[in-house]
Amino acid sequence: MPPLSPPIPDHVLWDRFRNGDRMAFEEIVSGHYKSLFRFGSRYTRDKALLEDCLHDLFVYLWEKRRTVNSTDSIRRYLLTAFRNKILLELDRIRKRGWTDEEAVTGTAFEEDTSHFAHDDDASPKLELLIGRLPARQQEAIYLRYYEGMDVSQIAGIMDISTQSVSNHLHKALLTLRQYARQFSLWISLAALPLFSFLA
């Protein structure tokens, strides 16, 4: 069996896309669609809205491919662009009053914790706890521990200072630790990198 080809560096793949390479564009879409959708769920439960925003984003990128900026991190570029698009769309929805408040809330998870004592799967429990955090803290936690970004990268995406990012993370971890104790949640350290901060 021939050895696998090394992954194409982001800046090379992005430049190919900017030059009209359809296969490069499709690789970008397929490689980031699911993670972008998960990221968007931190802002709204409306799956149709997220799908529309993603579709519009990728259509826009393809149509404007020759004028978009270069990047050495496609993931950060897409996360920033998708975040801005979601927030703009949610702002329009609120102003027009086309949907109920639940559809545009930043809390993407149900807060029912009655099953904690009977559920041995730690990851869903942690998702529920994270869903109780303020939207900005959820966003910082997701980017740090699910996307593996550092504080400066998160600051760039959230358009805030690195100190503000650190503050959001610190407050979120303190709150999660309190929640874990409140619900007697025992978490395996192997489940997620974040768990080590809750011990």
CATH number, domain with residue 18: 1.10.1740.10
In angstroms, rounded to a whole number, what is the distance separating the alpha carbons of residues 141 and 173? 8
* Total count of domains within the chain: 2
Question: Is 107 contained in some domain?
Answer: no
Check whether 100 has a pLDDT greater than 80: no
**Average pLDDT, integer, range 138-165:** 91
For residue 126, name the pLDDT band (cuts at 50, 70, 90): confident
User: Are the C-beta atoms of 179 and 129 separated by less than 8 Å?
Assistant: yes
185: its two tokens: 């949640």
Output DSSP code: residue 142. I
13: its two tokens: 């793949």
Q: Are residues 56 and 130 in the same domain?
A: no
CA dihedral 126, 158, 68, 73 (to 10 degrees): -50
Burial of residue 196, with CB atoms counted within 10 A of its CB: 0-12 exposed, 13-18 middle, 19 or more buried:
exposed
Domain limits for position 45: 10-100
Contacts of 135 (CB under 8 A, 6+ apart): 42, 43, 105, 106, 107
**Average pLDDT, integer, range 102-125:** 45
Q: Are residues 92 and 158 in the same domain?
A: no
Q: Distance from first CA to last CA of the chain, Å, rounded?
A: 45
Give the helix/strand (H/E) hosting 179. helix 162-182
Mean pLDDT of the chain: 80
Whole-structure pTM value: 0.71
pLDDT at 35: 93
Check whether 96 has a pLDDT greater than 90: no
Polymer length of the chain: 199
For residue 94, name the pLDDT band (cuts at 50, 70, 90): confident
**Average pLDDT, integer, range 144-165:** 92
In CATH, what number is assigned to the domain containing residue 146? 1.10.10.10
pLDDT at 149: 92
Output DSSP code: residue 161. -
**Average pLDDT, integer, range 152-173:** 93
- Tell me the pLDDT tens digit for each residue of 57-91: 999 999 999 999 999 999 999 999 999 999 999 88
Q: Are residues 91 and 22 in the same domain?
A: yes
Longest Cα–Cα distance in the chain: 58
97: left (phi over 0), alpha (psi -120 to 50) or beta: left
